[in-house]
């Protein structure tokens, strides 16, 4: 549940509720049917609701799902970069959290998502197309059959 002035209500274990400032939340990570809420501190808070339920409350505050298991506060993203394999993307969060989280292919091409995540490094890659990714990696075509023929 979102409250006035960018506050969020987290549902912790034992029927405990905690009000946190939405701008203090860096990321959300699914842990089965529960969600880890990563704040500035060293240990995440465990919300007893699923990622989808928590994100439904926080989406109006700008939170974006980047993977089936991860959502981020766009203002806490430091950079979006290719992953180590070169075939995908990842986001790095601001200090002191400094987490590196995967970005799903669906998040890259989803036309209904925000067209950009504001970062300090420039424009977003969240709306890149498959043809752009193919040209970036040197692939001849994005279709599976053409990759088999090329090898």
d(CA 64, CA 2): 15
CATH code of the region 2-128: 2.40.50.1020
Q: Which tokens is 37 given?
A: 């809420």
For 4-42, what is each residue's pLDDT tens digit?
A: 788 999 999 989 999 999 999 999 999 999 999 999 887
For 95-150, what is each residue's pLDDT tens digit?
A: 999 999 999 988 876 533 344 444 443 334 343 334 334 444 444 433 333 333 33
| Domain layout of the chain by residue ranges | 2-128
Q: Do residues 2 and 58 lie in contact, with contact meaning Cβ atoms separated by under 8 Å?
A: yes
For 41-86, what is each residue's pLDDT tens digit?
A: 879 999 999 999 999 999 999 999 999 999 999 999 999 999 999 8
Does this model's pTM top 0.85? My answer is no
Q: What are phi and psi of 116, to 5 degrees?
A: -155, 155
């Amino acid at each position: 549940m979102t409250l006035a002035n960018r506050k969020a209500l987290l549902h912790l274990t034992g029927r405990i509720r905690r009000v946190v400032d939405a701008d203090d939340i860096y990321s959300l990570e699914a842990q089965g049917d529960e969600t880890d809420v990563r704040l500035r501190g060293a240990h995440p808070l465990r919300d007893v609701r699923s990622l989808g339920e928590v994100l439904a409350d926080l989406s109006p505050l700008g939170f974006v799902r980047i993977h089936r298991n991860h959502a981020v506060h766009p203002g806490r993203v430091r950079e979006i970069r290719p992953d180590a394999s070169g075939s995908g993307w990842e986001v790095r969060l601001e200090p002191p959290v400094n987490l590196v989280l995967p970005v799903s292919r669906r998040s890259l091409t989803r036309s209904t998502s925000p067209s950009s995540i504001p970062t300090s490094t420039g424009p977003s890659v969240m709306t890149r197309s498959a043809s752009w990714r193919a040209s970036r990696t040197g692939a001849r075509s994005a279709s599976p059959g053409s990759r088999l023929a090329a090898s």
